Structure 1
Amino acid sequence: MNQPIYKRVLLKLGGETLAGPQGFGIDPQRADEVAAKVLEVRNQGIEVAIVIGAGNLWRGREGILRGMERATADYMGMLATVMNSMALMDALERGGTVTRVMSAVEMRAVAEPYIRRRAMRHLEKERVVILGGGTGNPYFSTDTAAALRAMEIGANILIKATKVDGVYDSDPQKDPNAKRFRRLTYIEALNRRLQVMDSTAISLCMDNALPILVLNMWQEGALTDAVSGREIGTMISSQA
């Protein structure tokens, strides 16, 4: 196994990662599978922080379409990310890794309040840190929360783990001729509107030169290959 090239990574997971075959809710077996992937990275000596979405529990967009106020829908999503964070924490700790959940929305009975220096201290002590509650503010996605937290904690890279093996010029599930990009610049990702992450998240990474790697986390060895510097998925950075 190659030596890792990153000291600290932020892993962005979609909420659907924890859903079972039905595509909704939290499947404990699926959480165990995700935890096993995270532990493979952690066991290489890499400090791991995680931001997870809430799409398996709540789709704010659907609430808004039915007349719900945007801020209310977003706050509900933030609460749902903490539920996902707790499920993943449980799976990680059963796997033998000390884990902390920190939330941008205070709920001290279930999670520590997010404090940047405390989060970094947990990482230095070899704990996995799951950062729930989004940014703590409505109108910001969990992708943007991931970009923000990655910069705050000094992560070397933001890894967006999906069910697709990179970024394509069209939907590979609908277009058999879809082309996968090996590398993209931030500007190309924004101009092409590839929807890999929202424009706020990509712009934030661009302004702070934080590379983004998009990969299929269910591909065998994908995460460990990624942190070892092997070419996998799609790298988005300042240079194509």
Structure 2
Amino acid sequence: MVSPKYWRIVLKLSGEALAGSLGYGIDPDVVNTIARQVKDVMECRVQLAVVVGGGNIWRGIAGSAKGMDRATADYMGMLATVMNSLALHDALQKHGVDTRTQTAIEMRAVAEPYIRRRAIRHMEKGRVVIFAAGTGNPYFSTDTTAALRAAEIEAQVILMAKQVDGVYDSDPLKNPNAKRFKELSYIEMINRGLGVMDSTAASLCMDNKIPLIVFDLNKEGNIKKAIFGEKIGTYIGGEFNGERNNQ
């Protein structure tokens, strides 16, 4: 039997992914589909943590652009990630996946406070851990949360679940001739400004040598394929010498 390539993983979900075709809010069908895929992955006896964004409900930077205090707007965004995390938590529990949600901002009535060693212990016991409320600090994105938590729990990879099937040299929705990268180095991702994650998160991944796999969440089974090392999406890690783009 083939073993997973990665056994401790951080899965990064955008808030927009949870909205599905609704474009805003939480689509229960989408959350249910994600939970079903996570259950399939957990049956492979891997350790999984999840970071969920909040852009389907609120974006702090958007509020700031309209005159709101940036810190206040970012705290609102953190609360949006908690709402998404609880929705995913509920769906996972309904699928029989033992789950714990930990928040960087304490709200003990709904979730545990984030404690690194407790999170690792949960994962060792086969529980999915959802990291909510970002880093607990304004001015930091949930991409940075994913990179930071991955470093803290010594994850082997960050799976970046997107609405497209990888990283392109230009927007594939606007340019039909856009080419998808098979693989990239961290520094290329940063220098090209490809929008995979912000520069703070990218630097954290580069400094701690945490590879990224960017893939299409909408294709069911892709999470499992990624942890088994199948060639999907775009792999971002060290330096490469081979072919960079799909033709």
| Fold match (TM-score > 0.5) | yes
Higher mean displacement: 14-23 or 112-121: 14-23
Written as runs of structure 1 = structure 2, the 5 A alignment for 1:137-148 is 137-148=137-148
2:15–2:53: 8 Å Cα contact kept in structure 1? yes
Deviations 1:186-238 (A, max 9, x none): 00001100011001001000001110110001123211111111111111101
Aligned partners of 1:52 and 1:164: how far apart in 2?
17
2:169–2:179: 8 Å Cα contact kept in structure 1? yes
1:17–1:34: 8 Å Cα contact kept in structure 2? no
Written as runs of structure 1 = structure 2, the 5 A alignment for 1:197-208 is 197-208=197-208
Which residue number corresponds to residue 44 of structure 1? 44
Which residue number corresponds to residue 215 of structure 2? 215
Aligned partners of 1:19 and 1:92: how far apart in 2?
17
2:59–2:74: 8 Å Cα contact kept in structure 1? no
Aligned partners of 2:185 and 2:21: how far apart in 1?
35
Post-superposition shift, 1:171?
Answer: 0.5
The gaps in structure 1 that reach 5 residues or longer are none
Cα 1:40–1:142, aligned 2, differ >3 Å: closer, same or farther? Answer: same
2:37–2:220: 8 Å Cα contact kept in structure 1? no
Deviations 1:52-91 (A, max 9, x none): 0001110222211210011001000011101100000000
Post-superposition shift, 1:20?
Answer: 3.8
Q: Does 1:34 align with 2:28?
A: no
Q: Does 1:70 align with 2:70?
A: yes
Which residue number corresponds to residue 191 of structure 1? 191
Which residue number corresponds to residue 123 of structure 1? 123
Which residue number corresponds to residue 244 of structure 2? none
Written as runs of structure 1 = structure 2, the 5 A alignment for 1:1-240 is 2-240=2-240
Aligned partners of 1:18 and 1:229: how far apart in 2?
25
Post-superposition shift, 1:31?
Answer: 1.1
Aligned partners of 2:44 and 2:211: how far apart in 1?
20
Displacement over 4 Å in runs of 4+: none
Aligned partners of 2:42 and 2:177: how far apart in 1?
36
Aligned partners of 2:31 and 2:4: how far apart in 1?
25
Aligned partners of 1:124 and 1:81: how far apart in 2?
24
Match of 1:226, SS state, is helix
User: Residue type matched to 1:88 in 2?
Assistant: L
Aligned partners of 2:63 and 2:217: how far apart in 1?
29
1:12–1:158: 8 Å Cα contact kept in structure 2? yes
Aligned partners of 1:53 and 1:80: how far apart in 2?
8
Higher mean displacement: 23-32 or 79-88: 23-32
- Among the aligned pairs, what percent are the same residue? 60
2:181–2:234: 8 Å Cα contact kept in structure 1? yes
Post-superposition shift, 1:26?
Answer: 1.2
Aligned partners of 2:21 and 2:233: how far apart in 1?
24
Deviations 1:89-137 (A, max 9, x none): 0000000011000000000000100000000000000000000010000
Normalising by structure 2, what TM-score? 0.95
Higher mean displacement: 6-15 or 53-62: 53-62
The gaps in structure 2 that reach 5 residues or longer are 241-247
Aligned partners of 2:38 and 2:20: how far apart in 1?
18
Aligned partners of 1:239 and 1:231: how far apart in 2?
17
Q: C-alpha root-mean-square deviation of aligned residues, in Å? A: 1.0
Match of 1:68, SS state, is coil
Match of 1:19, SS state, is helix
Deviations 1:170-196 (A, max 9, x none): 001111000100010000001100011
